Amino acid sequence: MPAGGYYALLFGVPMVGLFVLSFLRAQGFEVVVDFSFANYEKIATSPLYQKLLVRTIRVGIVTAAIVVPMAFALSYLMRFVFERRGQLILQLILLSLFSGYLVRIYAWRTILGKQGLLNSTLQWLGLIDEPLAFLIYSDYATIITLTGILLPLAVLPIHSAMANITRAHIEAARDLGSRRLHLIRTILVPMALPGVRAAFAFAFLLAAGDFVTPALVGGTGGLMIGNVVADQFKGIGANWPLGAALAFVTLACVLVLYVVIVRAIRRVTMW
């Protein structure tokens, strides 16, 4: 299987390599083979990295917490309310995946900027005198932008999970006397749960791993761990091993939190 080989060579090997690299040491522009946990110690003792990590996780969780319910509601509507147009609506939502990643981020900067579309429109209409500065260069701007980018990706798994729920399931429950809310809790949510889980993973991981959005709309105060990682590879004073360690610390934090949150969701829905 050539594709399997391609994955092994260009995905498996580099990921393992990056992990090994995170235990090495940078000296000037050279990477010295000198195994240690020094990079991880540096991250664990640096208040700056910790602050960035906390912000990154927070932005990731908030984004996922907005994206997943929105995607759930959309999938519900497509499946049970606009049944006949469901496919068309799905296509429309998915099409926005191909509306240009950089273009969208830049567009949000255009809209939210200090002299941007929203502020200038409000001023033109005479609703405000001074531009609203908080719109851009904040975590809000990052979250608004990321939500728009990740929403279609979150719809995909939830929608396909809901496709397994038939009208028969629902009618059977209704015949047995279930009310609407009860129905949602006992049938809809448990059956859609695998999709919700996948959507949450997508949204959380990809939001926490993004660096282009905070760089363009987050401002200097809104930088996330991804920006620091990118700088360790492309910036001045690059430090590859440290960047690799930072990337894995972030991935590990996200994965641990993901497991915790998914367990909590399951406990709530089991009840």
Partner 1 sequence: MVSGGRNVLATVYLVAVLFYLYAPVAVIVLFSFADLPRLSMPIEGLTLHWYGDAFANPLLTTALWNSLALALISALVAGGLGTAFAFGAMKVRRTRVRGALLAASLLPAIVPLLVIGIALAMLFNALGLSQSLRNAAFGHVLVCLPFVILTMNARLETFDFTILESARDLGASPFRAFRDITFPLIRPSVLGAALLAAALSLDEFVVTWFNIGSHQTLPVLVWGLMRQGINPSINALASLLLFALICLVTVSGLSGCRARSAPTVSKQERMH
Find the binding residues for partner 1 in span 86-105 (CB under 8 A): 89, 91-93, 95-96, 98-104
Amino acid of residue 73: A
Residue 190 or residue 209: which is nearer to partner 1 going by CB?
209
CB 66 within 8 A of CB 149: no
**What is the C-alpha separation between 195 and 110, in angstroms, rounded?**
34
For residues 172 to 211, the per-residue mask of contacts with partner 1, x marking binding by CB under 8 A and - elsewhere, is -----------------------------xx--xx-xxxx
Sites for partner 1 among residues 204-243 (CB under 8 A)? 205-206, 208-212, 216, 226, 229-230, 233-234, 240, 243
Residue 14 or residue 221: which is nearer to partner 1 going by CB?
14
Among 49, 72, 113, 214, interactor with partner 1 by CB under 8 A: 113
Distances in whole angstroms, Cα of residue 196 to Cα of each of 39, 106, 158: 35, 29, 5
Query: According to the binding rule CB under 8 A, does residue 251 interact with partner 1?
Result: yes
Sites for partner 1 among residues 9-28 (CB under 8 A)? 10-11, 13-15, 17-18, 21
Q: Helical H runs in the chain?
A: 2-7, 13-21, 38-45, 47-76, 86-95, 101-112, 117-124, 139-162, 167-175, 180-183, 189-208, 212-213, 225-234, 240-270
# binding residues, partner 1 (CB under 8 A): 71
Residue 178 burial by Cβ neighbours in a 10 Å radius (0-12, 13-18, 19+): middle
| Structural tokens at position 192 | 């859609």
First-residue to last-residue Cα distance in the chain: 45
Angle between the N-to-C axes of helices 117-124 and 101-112, in degrees from 0 to 180, rounded to the nearest 10: 30
Residue 9 or residue 268: which is nearer to partner 1 going by CB?
9
| Structural tokens at position 56 | 């990154």
Among 38, 58, 106, 163, interactor with partner 1 by CB under 8 A: 106
Sites for partner 1 among residues 63-82 (CB under 8 A)? 70, 73-74, 77, 80-82
In the block, residue with structure tokens 């049944």? 83
For residues 124 to 153, the per-residue mask of contacts with partner 1, x marking binding by CB under 8 A and - elsewhere, is x-----------------------x--xx-
Helix (H) / strand (E) containing 27: strand 25-27
Residue 7 or residue 37: which is nearer to partner 1 going by CB?
7
Residue 7 or residue 134: which is nearer to partner 1 going by CB?
7
Give me the least distance between CB of 271 and partner 1, in Å please. 25
Among 2, 28, 177, 237, interactor with partner 1 by CB under 8 A: 2
Residue 28 or residue 47: which is nearer to partner 1 going by CB?
28
Query: According to the binding rule CB under 8 A, does residue 37 interact with partner 1?
Result: no
